[in-house]
């Protein structure tokens, strides 16, 4: 086995990472003049892509004595949110300022090459940038770093909300230091929201997310010499078969940079039979629809043609993740279950500084063995529709929910591994083969 500091391995790693970074850089800077030091912005709400020079601003004050500075109904913003929530109350807001109008051409404020602020009519400054199409507030980092939309898709009770909450906590407190990056919230108040969710999950467990609009979790990952903006969306997998829902609430699927497809192994009949579990009566009463990974994949193929156009395989990196891996330990007593006592499905692993490609390959093999044993349709659907995919298994809590409540402790297993693989595919971290 070559030593870990082998110069040949380092050179291959560097070439591979530089190549991926170059492709990512060229893609995010399309439609911009060369060497401008800025990136195209993708609005995390309406997903319009535009040059950062064309942002609008929200004024920070109003003056009812002047027609153009009165409090007013923002018709574009109201139209956007009424399409999602018809019960939303109409608000009066500060006016919109267009920096490219004659009134403000000399009042632009730049941070490097990115338009970040504007001098208002009263001489004060506003840095409240908004999308020119839908008038929703833009992340602070928009234009400075590439925007990457990560769609988290899975059936109800697959553990999407728990996974996202634990993942962000993990990235901040453990994975970030291991990879020398720091996740920073881009919409004010998100960190407090994550902390509250984390404590609620730890102390009370979690119920299924309703099929409604879920605000994106937007955070910036700061590396020493690089950064990227991640917009993460919790999308109910059973809604993937609804063209109306996708049109109204899941337009991010058309612009997604990567997919985290979460599947609950207890939705597989043979697994449920071996575990001796039954459908939750409360979920039946609430009308919870349980769907498999196969249902989600076929729904994507049928209703998101922008990803699967003309019957072609998609190149969007896709991590197919089986959650609640802790439950599968009960299958190890059956030699035909596809899960052995030494399976990586049941083990934790910590990646430090780079993605261990040998470990990722081994996890893929072990999870694929489980899939081939219990639901071969998923393997076939993945192979026929994705160019770039990998199977993973995670446990967001480390124990079954009822055990977590008793122990009052959370011990995640491999929860960051699928996300690190996506970062590797997007060209932001390196990967090595050690064996």
Query: pLDDT at position 285, please?
Result: 39
Query: pLDDT per residue over 357-400, tens digit each?
Result: 999 999 999 999 999 999 999 999 999 999 999 999 999 888 76
Query: pLDDT at position 191, please?
Result: 45
**CA separation for the pair 334, 271 (Å, rounded):** 11
Residue 332 has pLDDT above 80, yes or no: yes
Looking at the DSSP bridge assignments, the partners of residue 390 are 319
Runs of H (alpha helix) within 321-433: 357-374, 376-385, 401-407, 417-425
* pTM for this model (two decimals): 0.79
Query: pLDDT at position 223, please?
Result: 84
Residue 26 has pLDDT above 50, yes or no: no
Average pLDDT over residues 329-336: 90
Average pLDDT over residues 127-141: 92
Residue 29 has pLDDT above 90, yes or no: no
Whose structure tokens read 């829902």? Answer: 245
Query: pLDDT per residue over 188-234, tens digit each?
Result: 444 445 445 444 544 454 444 444 555 677 788 888 877 777 877 76
Please spell the DSSP secondary structure of 265-281, one letter per residue. Answer: GGGSHHHHHHHT----H
376 in helix, strand or coil?
A: helix
Residue 40 has pLDDT above 70, yes or no: yes
Return all residues near 283 (Cβ < 8 A) that are at least 6 apart: 156, 157, 208, 290
Average pLDDT over residues 310-325: 88
Q: Residues 156, 208: contact at Cβ < 8 Å?
A: yes
Q: What is the DSSP letter of 53?
A: G
List the domains of the chain with CATH numbers: 42-130 (no CATH), 147-432 (3.40.50.300)
Query: pLDDT per residue over 68-117, tens digit each?
Result: 999 999 999 998 888 777 677 788 999 999 999 988 988 999 999 999 99
Strand duo 96-97 + 56-58: pairing: antiparallel
Task: Give the chain's mean pLDDT.
Answer: 79
Residue 52 has pLDDT above 60, yes or no: yes
Residue 177 has pLDDT above 90, yes or no: yes
**CA separation for the pair 187, 239 (Å, rounded):** 26
Residue 144 has pLDDT above 60, yes or no: yes
Name the residue with higher pLDDT: 253 or 96: 96
């Amino acid at each position: 086995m070559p030593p870990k500091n082998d110069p040949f391995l380092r050179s291959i790693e560097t070439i591979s990472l530089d190549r991926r970074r170059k492709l990512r850089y060229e893609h995010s800077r399309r439609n911009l003049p060369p060497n401008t030091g800025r990136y195209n912005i993708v609005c995390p709400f309406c997903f319009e892509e535009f040059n950062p020079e064309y942002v609008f601003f929200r004024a920070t004050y109003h003056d009812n004595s002047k027609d153009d500075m009165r409090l007013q109904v923002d018709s574009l913003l109201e139209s956007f949110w009424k399409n999602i929530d018809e019960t939303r109350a109409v608000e009066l807001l500060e006016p919109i300022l267009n920096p490219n109008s004659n009134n403000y051409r000399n009042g632009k404020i730049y941070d490097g090459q990115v338009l970040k602020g504007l001098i208002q009519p009263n001489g004060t400054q506003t840095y409240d940038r908004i999308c020119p199409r839908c008038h929703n507030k833009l992340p602070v980092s928009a234009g400075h770093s590439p925007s990457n939309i990560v769609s988290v898709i899975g059936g109800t009770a697959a553990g999407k909300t728990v996974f996202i909450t634990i993942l962000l906590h993990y990235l901040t407190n453990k994975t970030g230091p291991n990879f020398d990056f720091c996740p920073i919230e881009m919409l004010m108040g998100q960190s407090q929201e994550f902390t509250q969710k984390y404590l609620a999950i730890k102390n009370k467990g979690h119920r299924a997310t309703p099929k409604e609009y879920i605000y994106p979790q937007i955070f910036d990952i700061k590396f020493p010499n690089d950064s990227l903006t991640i917009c993460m969306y919790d999308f109910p997998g059973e809604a993937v078969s609804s063209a109306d829902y996708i049109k109204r609430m899941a337009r991010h699927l058309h612009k997604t940079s990567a997919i985290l497809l979460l599947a609950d192994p207890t939705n597989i009949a043979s697994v449920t039979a071996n575990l001796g579990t039954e459908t939750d009566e409360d979920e039946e009463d609430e009308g919870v629809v349980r769907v498999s990974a196969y249902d989600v994949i076929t729904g994507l193929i049928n209703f998101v043609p922008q990803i699967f156009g003309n019957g072609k395989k998609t190149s969007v990196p896709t991590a197919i993740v089986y959650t609640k891996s802790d439950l599968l330990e009960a299958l190890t007593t059956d030699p035909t279950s596809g899960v052995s006592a030494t399976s990586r499905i049941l083990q934790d692993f910590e990646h430090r500084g780079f993605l261990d490609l040998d470990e990722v390959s081994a996890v893929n093999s072990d999870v694929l063995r489980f899939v081939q044993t219990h639901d071969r349709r998923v393997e076939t659907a993945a192979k026929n529709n994705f160019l770039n995919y990998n199977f993973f298994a995670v446990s967001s809590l480390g124990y079954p929910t009822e055990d977590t409540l008793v122990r009052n402790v959370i011990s995640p297993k491999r929860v960051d591994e699928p996300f690190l693989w996506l970062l590797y595919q997007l060209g932001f971290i390196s990967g090595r083969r050690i064996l």
